[in-house]
Structure 1
Amino acid sequence: MLPSDRDEIRDLLKRTAVALKQGDVPFALCGGYAAWMRGAPEPDHDADFLVPEAESERAAKVLADAGLEVVPPAEDWLTKVVQGNSFVDVLWRTCGHPVEQDLIDRAEVLPVLSVQMPVLQATDILVTKLMALDEHYCDFSRLLPVARALREQVDWGRVRVEVDDNDFAVVFLVLLDRLGVVEGAVSAG
């Protein structure tokens, strides 16, 4: 990503968060930029926010009313906010599951590029990233730096329990354990 593109995505991230805040839509920064705020490398692509599924239509209206370009994508679980060559995804489902209010409520308000906004906890960031792994997307090279950077902030026991049904996620936890990134990332039983 070129520096001007990074500036553009950062600007769009801030404008999206401010619009959601002003519209009183519950939300949280998630994905790569949430991980970045907690010490991971800065992502080189879009930014992502979560909103509860029950707020999805209102979120899209609030963003459009704030003058942002809202584009309905082919997917039926997110809204895209576009500016130039950059975009922000506002998701109301992750890995086929509706975003629930409790996930948003667990987020911690942090300053992100000078804007106070809720940011997912490190454990929730890892769980959502690991649950996205499947036979079509299984890129451990993107996850490894995130797991390394966030390892001391993560409740690995909770991660284990929440991703137990995803074989790709479980294998990633085995990899973390074998590399010594996180001792006990997987249980012996």
Structure 2
Amino acid sequence: MLPDDRDEIRDLLKRTAVALKQGDVPFALCGGYAAWVRGAPEPDHDADFLVPAAESERAAKVLAEAGLEVVDPAEDWLTKVVQGNSFVDVLWRTCGVPVEHDLIDRAEELPVLSVHMPVLEATDIVVTKLMALDEHYCDYSRLLPVARALREQVDWARVRRDVEANDFAAVFLILLDRLGVVEGVAGEG
């Protein structure tokens, strides 16, 4: 990502959050930028927000009414907000599961680039990132810096319980244990 692109995505992230706040749409910053706010390296791609599935249509309407360019991609679980070469994903399903209010309610209000907004808690960030792993996307190199940066903020026992059905996530937890990033996270046998 070029410096101009980073400025553009940061601006779009702020504009999207402000529009959702002003439209009274429940939301939370998630993904790489949520991890960045909590100490991980800044991502080199888009920003992501979660909205409850029941609020998805209203969220898209609020964003369009705020003057943002809203695009409906082929995927049926997100809306994209576009500005120049940058975009923000507004997701209402994550890993095939509809986003519920409880996930948003657990988010913590934090300053992000001088805008206060709900940011997914560290444990939920790690769980959603790990649950996205599958045979088509299994890039541990992007996850390792996030896990290292957030390790003291994460409830690893909950992560282990929440991702136990995903073999790719379970293997990542073994890797964290073997590398000494988070000891004992892989669980028993």
Match of 2:124 in 1: 124
Please list every run of 5 or more consecutive structure 2 residues that lacks an aligned counterpart in the other structure.
none
Deviation (angstroms), 1:188: 1.4
Which one-letter code corresponds to 2:102 in the other structure? D
- Take 2:65 and 2:90, find their aligned partners in 1: how far apart are those partners? 15
- Alignment-mate amino acid for residue 54 of structure 2: A
> Secondary structure, in 3 states, of the residue corresponding to 2:148?
helix
Output one character per residue of 1:118-149: Cα deviation in whole Å (capped at 9) or x when no partner: 00000000000000000000000000000000
Cross-structure match for 1:143: 143
**Matches of 1:52 and 1:14 in 2, distance apart?**
19
In structure 1, what is the equivalent of residue 176 of structure 2?
Answer: 176
Q: How many residues align?
A: 189
Q: How does the TM-score come out when normalised to structure 2?
A: 1.00
Partner of 1:105: 105
Q: How far 1:186 moved relative to its partner?
A: 1.1
Quote the residue 2:88 is aligned against: 88
- Report Cα offsets for 1:68-105 as digits up to 9, x if no partner: 00000000000000000000000000000000000000
Alpha-carbon distance in structure 1 between the residues aligned to 2:147 and 2:187 = 17
Task: Provide the rounded CA distance (Å) in 1 between the counterparts of 2:44 and 2:187.
Answer: 33
Deviation at 1:52, TM superposition (A): 0.1
Supply the AA of the counterpart residue of 2:39: G
Residue in 2 aligned with 1:18? 18
**Aligned-CA RMSD value:** 0.4
SS of 2:67 mapped into structure 1:
coil
Once residues 49 and 15 of structure 1 are traced to their aligned partners in structure 2, the CA distance between those partners, rounded to angstroms, is: 12
Matches within 5 A, 1:24-35: 24-35=24-35
Secondary structure, aligned partner of 2:48: strand
- Say which SS state the counterpart of residue 43 (structure 2) adopts: coil
Matched to 1:183, the amino acid is E
Matched to 2:60, the amino acid is A
Matched, 1:37 2:37: yes
Q: Does 1:162 align with 2:162?
A: yes
1:184, distance to aligned residue in structure 2 (A): 0.8
Identity %: 88
- TM-score if structure 1 supplies the norm length? 1.00
Q: Deviations over 1:129-184 (max 9, x none)?
A: 00000000000000000000000000000000000000000000000000000011
Which residue type is aligned with residue 110 of structure 2? L
